A and B are shown apart, each in its own frame.
Chain A
Amino acid sequence: MNLNQLTIAEAIKELKEKKFSSIDITKACLEQIKKHNYEINAFITVDEKGALEQAKIADKLASQGETWEAKPLLGIPIALKDIFLTKGLKTTAASKVLENYIPQYDATVTKKLKDAGAVILGKTNLDAWAHGSSGENSDFGATKNPWNKEYVPGGSSSGSAASLAADMCLASTGTDTGGSIRLPASFNNLVGLKPTYGRVSRYGIIAMASSLDTIGHFTKTVEDSAILLNVTAGSDPLDATTPGVEPQDYTKSIGKGVKGLKIGVPKEYFTGGLDSAIKDKVETAIKKLEELGVEIVEISLPNTEYAVSVYYIIMSSEVSSNLARYDGIRFGNDRSSFGEEAKRRIMLGTFTLSTGYYDAYYKKAMQVRTLIKQDFDKAFEKVDAIISPVSPTAPWKLGEKVNDPLKMYLSDIFTVTANLAGIPGLSVPAGFIRSASSGQAELPVGIQILGPQFSEEKLFQIGNAYEKSTDFYKQKPTL
């Protein structure tokens, strides 16, 4: 096994035993980036010099007795979605508006990761401003799916998912406003965490839709996801939406098993447009959980059919407001540099907030959002968690949906609900399919586990038990 293929937990063990150094792992990742980034287009910026310097410092600290208890990511090379501000390192949001923007400060999460000893390899590609489900809306070219380069990797955190699936890093960060972590995680055989709204600080991360944005990450295993959340979670005086709820030691949920837990299956998520091959995989996963001792309960989330409408009104309204600040005066280029999708969303949001339309669109959407949230509140009175598909289809071919924005938006149908309700979701690998949507290609598929607000530890507990019984994460794409 190559060093760049290690999980975080494996790498820490070997670093502790001094079998190799952070420089060794960092070099292995940089080597992999050099070999394959030209065809995957996962990174916008690679900071080779900075990464090697940080790795050298990590090795020095380790040799001086620094511990992984104090610095849980000491010497671990990771990649950041290019929407997390990094002091002195270009941050573009994959938009031409910010093509030369050098931030003067770090996002809170960037700072926490650096303080924990992580090595930042570079900044990954995304749909510009995180607007998209496929990765094709980047102003710097689409990212390709490492499992089959004719297919999309999913978006908007496309480069973060593709870089990890291609073993260019040991973990990567993402943002999830309507599925932008869970969808690419499922398209790339990865674990993707969308935390509870406010669990992780949004400060210094370029805002998309402020009442929906959450900050999470991609890892190879559920345990690694818990290790990372231990670093990033917590309240932040610079983000007033981070509540005082104390984070836990999320790694304690690993290895607990799932006997006696009740998991709900929402009947509304298994109708209509769901690909039959994905339905089979989710049903197989449900059977597996039953074998592990879970009690499966059928539940109903009756307002699910309105979720995409509610989401696209609220999201685009908030997008139009957040992107209003980009005027090219203090930094960046002027408004003529916005790409097609950003313009579309600004226009839609400006319309739904405009005089005479506010009540019919924005206000109504915010009211129906309450009903969607109440659906989940009722369901969680009966069950500990919910299991569902992530995407209604397998990854699609590059170019297939670019001229049909509505069709693209409908791929978020099973993920937007968690953002509207503010609840956490964990996407975990559920195998590989050939399907109507993927044609002859065998591509990854994931399931998502949803829980009540601040129940991340339960999601890790369930995800870890399921992962241990399947081991899909051990399979690697042929690059």
Chain B
Amino acid sequence: MKINVPHIAKLANLTISPQEESKLEKQLTEILTYVEKLKEVNLPAGKAGTSGAEETSQVTGLENITREDIAKDCELTQQEAISGSKSTHNGLFKVKGILVATSE
């Protein structure tokens, strides 16, 4: 298994230096080679060609937990909500533009 470190770094929005790149490639390849072990596992067969082993994502068996759709008083003031940000404007978070205007 060869891992394309620059491509994955782009997906993960991380900046990786060239030194880090070669180190990560080696370490991630080692880890991925180890987890290849899972290929050995034969899952029990289910009905009509499906696998008999369901995926476990919620381990205590809870499903679709909902609550009444009633608005509650917000515990945070607007000022508290933005208190951790270095970039605010008129009580709002200020972010860089996503669409850049062009002259044409």
Contact = CB atoms under 8 A, between A and B. Distances in A.
Given A198-B60, A336-B15, A354-B8, A104 B84 contact: yes
Contacts of B95: 329
A453 B60 contact: yes
A368 interface: yes
A118 B83 CA distance: 27
A221 to B, nearest CB: 28
A373 B53 CA distance: 11
Contacts, number: 139
Given A241-B60, A329-B85, A338-B14, A347 B9 contact: yes
Contact of B14 (A240, A346, A420): A346
Contact of B58 (A241, A308, A329): A241
B22 interface: no
Chain B binding site: helix, strand, loop or mixed by DSSP? loop
A369 interface: yes
B67 interface: yes
B38 A368 contact: yes
A453 to B, nearest CB: 6
Interface string B78-95: 001111111100000101
A309 B38 contact: yes
A328 B62 CA distance: 33
A332 B85 CA distance: 7
A365 interface: yes
Interface string B2-43: 010100110111111000100010011011101101111101
B31 A405 contact: yes
A238 to B, nearest CB: 10
Which interface class (under 10, 10 to 19, 20 to 34, 35 or more) fits B? Answer: 35 or more
A363 B55 contact: yes
Contacts of B55: 363, 366-367, 369-370
B81 to A, nearest CB: 7
A368 B11 CA distance: 27
Interface in A187-226: 196-198, 211
Interface string A301-319: 0010110111011000000
B14 A347 contact: yes
Nearest to B87: A329
Given A101-B84, A338-B14, A368-B41, A406 B59 contact: no
A259 interface: no
A306 B37 contact: yes
Contact of A197 (B39, B40, B60, B67): B60
Contact of B38 (A197, A310, A351): A310
B13 to A, nearest CB: 6
B17 to A, nearest CB: 11
Interface in B66-104: 67, 75-76, 80-87, 93, 95
Contact of A312 (B8, B11, B35, B65): B35
Contacts of A104: 76, 80-81, 83-84
A371 B41 contact: yes
Q: Identify the interface centre among A243, A364, A365: most chain B CB within 10 Å of its CB.
A: A364
A331 B31 contact: no
A439 B15 CA distance: 40
B62 A351 contact: no
A105 interface: yes
Contact of B62 (A198, A363, A364): A198
Given A347-B14, A351-B3, 16 more contacts: A196-B60, A198-B60, A211-B58, A312-B31, A324-B13, A327-B13, A329-B85, A343-B20, A347-B8, A364-B41, A366-B55, A367-B43, A367-B54, A373-B56, A406-B27, A406-B34
26 contacts: A104-B80, A104-B84, A197-B59, A198-B62, A240-B65, A243-B60, A306-B37, A343-B14, A343-B16, A343-B20, A346-B14, A347-B5, A347-B14, A348-B28, A350-B11, A351-B3, A351-B28, A361-B35, A363-B55, A364-B38, A366-B55, A368-B43, A405-B30, A406-B31, A421-B59, A422-B59
